[in-house]
Structure 1
Amino acid sequence: MPTHYSVRTALRRPRPQMTPRNADVAALTYRLTALDRWLVRLLHDHDVLTTNQIITLTARGHRATSRRLSTLHLLGVLDAFRPFLTTGSAPYHYTVGPAGAAILAAARAVDVRTLRWRPDATSRIAHSPWLAHDVGRNEFMVRLAADHYHRPENRMTLWAGEHVCKALWADHIHPDAYAHITHTPTDGGRRRTVAFFVEHDTGSMRPERVDAKLAGYAALAASTHPPTSTLVLVHASTPGREKALRTLLGPTATALGVPVATTNSTAHDTDSPLADIWLPIGTCAERTTLLGLRRTFPQAGPAPVAPGTWTPDAADPQTHGALPWPPTPPLPPPVVGPITDPAPHGEVG
């Protein structure tokens, strides 16, 4: 029966029995590529990514990616779980494994205990009541980043996850993400960058609570001199939810001077999140592109951060403004040559 098959499939893959203490990090130096190390850093930043999301971000084939993920899992670099579904089967969800945590700590010359990683990290993520929200948020951000493969002139240059946002702006706001997307015209025109916060709404929170968040964005803007607002994107689960949110957010955003635009999952089912799916609040009644929102809200700018927050300091690689290290680039490094490390026998993601 489908239920029994789903349970057997979820339990089929063995979990590596190791901890950061007994992980042979030195022995993995010849096994890990730059792409593998990038993925470990990205998972540490954003907690969990599915097989399909990793495929979308890396723009590699399903078979090659699944084989590599299976290898990294059996090496303990990654951990994995598969949520239960009553019908069909869910993709594998990947997190940082014990060997991955040890590698990350060694590369940053810190102790594992400073990384927010715990031996039960995967269990906590797998059973978290916010798992669907976190996966949905990451799906939206992954699709934004992967638009670069279809439109090379658009590139996500920054993806700061929930943990980074908390470290920088917890006194005022608690967004789901903060990002920069840069548009470089193919005709050599002037580059434009749009900076924005993301509020990913699954419909589980009362609309009034979402509306109340705008006061924090207004307070953050007022903390700078001169005051500078940053664009807030609200991604709703359905068209009906988007309509309900706009009814509440409209008067508040206008009164506080917070630039807000909304969309819903249905609007970009068959298109890019960078397409004309964004409906600004308090201005025109037509949807526009994400980059077009910069013309709609010319007063919007990047969020306030200390100098050097987003880029490493060559003189002191362990110091990056208010962060211990900058966020991982959302797009992977170039792959040099094929990956020839054979995958072990067994099921792949």
Structure 2
Amino acid sequence: MNTSPRTPRRNVHALRQLVAHSILAWLSGRNTHAGSLGYAEPAAAPAWTPTSPARVPRDQSAAPETDEHRSRSFTLADAIDVQERLTARDHELIGLLARHRVLTTQHIANLLFADDREASKRLRVLTELGILERFHHGRSPGHGRGQLPWHYTLGPLGAMITAASTETAIPTASDTRARAQRLAHSGGLDHLLGVNDFFARLARTARTSSGCALSAWRDSRAAALMCGNHARPDGYGQWRERGRGTEFFLEYDDATNALAVTLSKLRGYRYLAHIGRGLPVLFVFTDPARRHAFGQGLANRPELAAGLLVATAATGDIHEHGPAAPIWRTGTDTTPQPLIALAPAPTANPAAPIESTSRSPRPTSEEL
């Protein structure tokens, strides 16, 4: 009778996870480098020539379309083997999707490629490798009806590589695909795409304009932590232009909440200004009429924005001129200002997190 002790199965699984973490983390670190992600100005920015997204039959626009590669299975061994085929830019893209969850072909082209055709070629390869998952969504901001661009999120191998680099549990391929399906059908997807579209356009401006840089882009979770949950921004950014710099919080309004809810979000920002952490708050509106109503609300109740620099813009102007252009209106000022002119107060220092309190106001925000 064999009396030798047996290693419990869960311990074997934990050991495999540890080994996989070590190998994947080492390989990921070897293939990445700092100072890119579309945030730093390149030595020579290529011209941008956008092309039209692929068209699909109109009757498919009501629901996401799954990708043909979903039936493949992937293992930790695949995640290790695929590392040799990944470039530094591929790792940058994995990091972007880990933080911001979903990006369209054009978003990714704006952030990392010369144009969307070059991006599409590489994204197709990464999808076939299992690094990415993709789906169609019929209501993407900035695209007409019947034009359904691919939307990309992390695939099984991309999620494994991310887990190794962040020292979290490595997900199974089925878990990753289920997460992608939930994202594709989420009611908050349009809102998330709108936020990411704003920052991707700003990154493109930085890559194609001398002396400009999007030096920071944080998602809603990271931005809320910066605010100690006193406010719940949809994003935070740092913008530099020809030796000048500004920081801002972003609120993306797609008219899914009552206008009173949108106005109530200013309460948390007033508190941040009161403690010396105030920054410009940018409100982006998909509906110009709602933007006008928001301005009227502030004019009727100026105490709502007391001590704040609140600027508004419409998505139509952003798509036509870019987020950094003179499209921002503040208060009753009828002269649009460029983004760089919206400088924060000298005492603002949002880099360090603010202590959170359970009694702090938590305005309603769009979340997935």
TM range (shorter): 0.7 to 0.9
Aligned to 2:32: none
C-alpha RMSD of the superposition: 2.7
Q: Deviations over 1:16-43 (max 9, x none)?
A: 5335x54522101210000001101101
Question: Is residue 15 of structure 1 aligned with residue 70 of structure 2?
Answer: yes
Q: Residue 203 of structure 1: CA displacement?
A: 1.3
Aligned partners of 2:183, 2:122: CA distance in 1, in Å? 22
Task: Indicate the percent of aligned positions where both proteins have the same amino acid.
Answer: 30
Aligned partners of 2:324, 2:73: CA distance in 1, in Å? 42
* Cα distance, 1:79–1:252 mapped onto 2, change above 3 Å: farther
Residues 181 and 193 of structure 1 are in contact (CA less than 8 Å); yes or no, is this contact kept in structure 2? yes
Aligned to 2:14: none
Residues 15 and 74 of structure 1 are in contact (CA less than 8 Å); yes or no, is this contact kept in structure 2? no
Aligned partners of 2:282, 2:108: CA distance in 1, in Å? 23
TM-score scaled by structure 1?
0.75
SS at match of 2:340: coil
Q: Residue 269 of structure 1: CA displacement?
A: 3.0
Aligned partners of 1:170, 1:228: CA distance in 2, in Å? 11
SS at match of 1:180: strand
Aligned partners of 2:63, 2:277: CA distance in 1, in Å? 54
Q: Residue 152 of structure 1: CA displacement?
A: 2.2
Question: Is residue 238 of structure 1 aligned with residue 290 of structure 2?
Answer: no
Q: Deviations over 1:193-240 (max 9, x none)?
A: 100000001111111101101111112233x4xx23111000011321
Aligned partners of 2:60, 2:232: CA distance in 1, in Å? 40
Aligned partners of 1:12, 1:101: CA distance in 2, in Å? 17
TM-score scaled by structure 2?
0.72
SS at match of 1:25: helix
Residues 63 and 137 of structure 2 are in contact (CA less than 8 Å); yes or no, is this contact kept in structure 1? no
Q: Deviations over 1:87-145 (max 9, x none)?
A: 523101000111111111223344336xxx85522111101101111111111111111
Aligned partners of 2:97, 2:228: CA distance in 1, in Å? 22
Aligned to 1:125: 183
Aligned to 1:267: 317
- The one-letter code matched in structure 1 to 2:246 is V
Aligned partners of 2:279, 2:318: CA distance in 1, in Å? 23
Aligned partners of 1:99, 1:209: CA distance in 2, in Å? 40
Aligned partners of 1:13, 1:118: CA distance in 2, in Å? 16
Q: Deviations over 1:253-273 (max 9, x none)?
A: 665312101111122332121
Aligned to 1:321: none
* Cα distance, 1:135–1:5 mapped onto 2, change above 3 Å: closer
Aligned partners of 1:211, 1:60: CA distance in 2, in Å? 39
- The one-letter code matched in structure 2 to 1:243 is H
Q: Residue 68 of structure 1: CA displacement?
A: 1.1
Residues 61 and 137 of structure 2 are in contact (CA less than 8 Å); yes or no, is this contact kept in structure 1? no
Aligned to 1:74: 128
Aligned partners of 1:32, 1:56: CA distance in 2, in Å? 20
Which of the pair has the greater relative contact order for Cα pairs under 8 Å at 6+ separation?
1
- The one-letter code matched in structure 2 to 1:218 is R
SS at match of 2:339: coil
Aligned partners of 2:186, 2:346: CA distance in 1, in Å? 38
Residues 226 and 350 of structure 2 are in contact (CA less than 8 Å); yes or no, is this contact kept in structure 1? no
Q: Deviations over 1:276-309 (max 9, x none)?
A: 1000125x33111111122xx65573425259xx
* Cα distance, 1:16–1:30 mapped onto 2, change above 3 Å: farther
More helix by share: 2
Aligned counterpart for 1:208 among listed residues 260, 267, 274: 260
Aligned to 1:2: 57
SS at match of 2:90: helix
1:289-300 equivalent positions in 2, closer than 5 A:
289-294=338-343, 298=345
Aligned counterpart for 1:220 among listed residues 260, 264, 272: 272
SS at match of 2:84: coil
Give the unaligned 5+ runs of structure 2. Answer: 1-55, 355-368
Aligned partners of 2:305, 2:117: CA distance in 1, in Å? 52
Residues 130 and 155 of structure 2 are in contact (CA less than 8 Å); yes or no, is this contact kept in structure 1? yes
Residues 203 and 237 of structure 1 are in contact (CA less than 8 Å); yes or no, is this contact kept in structure 2? yes
SS at match of 1:66: helix
Q: Residue 249 of structure 1: CA displacement?
A: 3.0
Structure number with greater Rg is 2
Residues 214 and 252 of structure 1 are in contact (CA less than 8 Å); yes or no, is this contact kept in structure 2? no
